[in-house]
Structure 1
Amino acid sequence: MEQYSTLFLQFITSWGYLAIALLMALENACIPIPSELILGFAGYLVFAGKMNFAEAVIAGIIGGMIGSIITYYIGFLGGRPFVEKYGKYFFMKKDHVAAAQKWFDNYGLKAVFFSRMLPVVRTFISLPAGFAKINIKKFIACTFAGSLPWTILIIYIGNFLGENWKKMLAVGHDFSLLICVIIIAVIIIIYIHQHKK
């Protein structure tokens, strides 16, 4: 998929927020397009004055939610046998699905929230949620809550790095894990602060 990166960036340059939403929908529908590429470049365009930060975040969230809901219903209606049989035609690798399933089995709805900030798992976590037929409203709430900080932070970092935004791509999955640790730490600090109050 890396060889198509230039095409994705040209697509975003030409179609703006619509392209961000569409690519994020595809990324959350198990198509291997790195969200760091989409949102990082969006951040750079904010830096360059060609996009508005808030609107870029909204486009990223809308696209991610649409893709996640589609994937949820694939799992809900087709079940794991369907995904294992036909998933290969839609870039759904069995080991990736198994990793997401393990996360969901261990943490349930919490996995839907936290995995949105983890490499690979964030793309596939909607499937086991669909397999388990969890309440769609709870799924949407957890997906939104997990996607929002990730989307904001990646766009912000792309904006902060400016012309050097591609540095986050070079770090790859380690960067995603670092972001996850930071977000979890912030959530814990906020929780402790509120609990003390």
Structure 2
Amino acid sequence: MTLLTTSSSGESGSLLSGFSDWAVGLMETIGAPGAGIAVALENLFPPLPSELILPLAGFTASRGSFTIAEAIFWTTLGSVVGALALYGIGAALGRDRMRRIAAKLPLIQVEDVDRTEAWFERHGSKAVFFGRMVPIFRSLISIPAGIERMHLGLFTLLTLGGSLLWNSLFVGAGFLLGENWHVVEEYAGIFQTIVVVVVVVAVVWWVTKRIRTLRRRDAERA
């Protein structure tokens, strides 16, 4: 199989190319389950891009190595397995341990954990479902779900639904584009960059606001 590299350059491009080659070899060796394994690893290690794996699985399906239905089934199964593993990590961490960790972190207060829990109680279902379609968050959202001990059946169902939509879109695009499957990853990369920028801006805003609040409290106590 001829693998077309993405438009990334330098070290980042070589890393993506190397991962692409590994994923292709895995799919060629064991078929569609290989795509599922790659996606499961992507859930556990968010820097691995599902936007690369999924269209590549669709491209491989278009060449007859397996069917598009198999590609969607196995990649979705991989998404669920990876999410359940992270859910287990969150459940093992637990609320009490999370509070102890928060109390020791700079700029973090236990009240922040309480507010996060309250928010998750109100919006957890939507966060888990739609989070499956947002780069980076689709992996990380499983951890607070585990910490809050969201009902495992509900978590699995929401993860399955969100992952099925996301995976079907990207696998289908790779299948239809064929040799040009990498175009999907290029546009998805732009979306991921936007998400990262928004997150960085939000974090900077939050840290700045928290520092100002702490300084104001110190001044009032003085």
Q: TM-score, length-normalised on structure 2?
A: 0.65
Offset of residue 177 of structure 1: 9.7
Q: What secondary structure sits across from 2:44 in the alignment? A: coil
Give 1:158's aligned residue: 174
Unaligned runs of 5+ in 2: 1-14, 102-112, 195-222
Structure 1: runs of 5 or more not aligned: 86-97, 179-197
2:46 and 2:136 in contact (8 A); partners too: no
Structure 1 residues 59 and 120, CA gap change in structure 2 (3 angstroms): same
Structure 1 counterpart of 2:149, from 133, 142, 147: 133
Query: Which of 21, 25, 30 in structure 2 is aligned with 1:10?
Result: 25
Tell me the equivalent position of 1:121: 137
Write the deviation string for residues 7-37 of structure 1: whole angstroms up to 9, x where unpaired.
Answer: 2222222221121111111112234321122
Distance 1:105 1:28 in 2: 23
The residue type equivalent to 2:50 in the other structure is S
5 Å matches for 1:35-46? 35-46=50-61
Give distance in 2, aligned partners of 1:69 and 1:154. 22
The 2-side partners of 1:23 and 1:65 are apart by 12
Amino acid at match of 2:156: I
Change (3 A) 1:141 1:177: farther
Question: How far 1:149 sits from its partner (Å)?
Answer: 0.8
Measured against aligned partners, the alpha-carbon deviations of 1:38-58 in whole angstroms (never above 9, x if no partner) come to 111111112212220111111
Separation in 2 of the partners of 1:158 and 1:172?
12
Over 3 Å counting, the alpha-carbon distance change for 1:173 and 1:56 in structure 2 is same
Instruction: Report what 1:147 is aligned to.
Output: 163
Candidates 15, 38, 46, aligned match of 1:23: 38
2:107 maps to what in 1? Answer: none
Q: Distance in 1 between matches of 2:189 and 2:94?
A: 28
Please list, as runs of the form range in 1=range in 2, the aligned pairs for 1:46-57 lying within 5 A after superposition. 46-57=61-72
Two-structure CA RMSD over aligned residues (Å)? 2.8
CA distance in 1, matches of 2:75, 2:67: 12
Distance (whole Å) between structure 1 residues aligned to residue 176 and residue 193 of structure 2: 19
Please give the TM-score of this superposition, normalised by the length of structure 1.
Answer: 0.73
1:148-196 residue CA offsets vs partner (Å, 9 max, x unmatched): 1111111100011110001112223435699xxxxxxxxxxxxxxxxxx
What is the CA–CA distance in structure 2 between the aligned matches of 1:174 and 1:107, rounded to whole Å? 27
Indicate conservation of the 8 Å contact 1:117/1:176, yes or no: no
Give deviations 1:81-140, integer Å, cap 9, x for gaps.
57xx8xxxxxxxxxxxx9xx7985772111000010111111111001011111111101
The answer for the alignment partner of 1:170 in structure 2 is 186
Q: Is the 8 A contact 1:119 1:173 kept in 2?
A: no
Larger Rg, first or second structure (1 or 2): 2
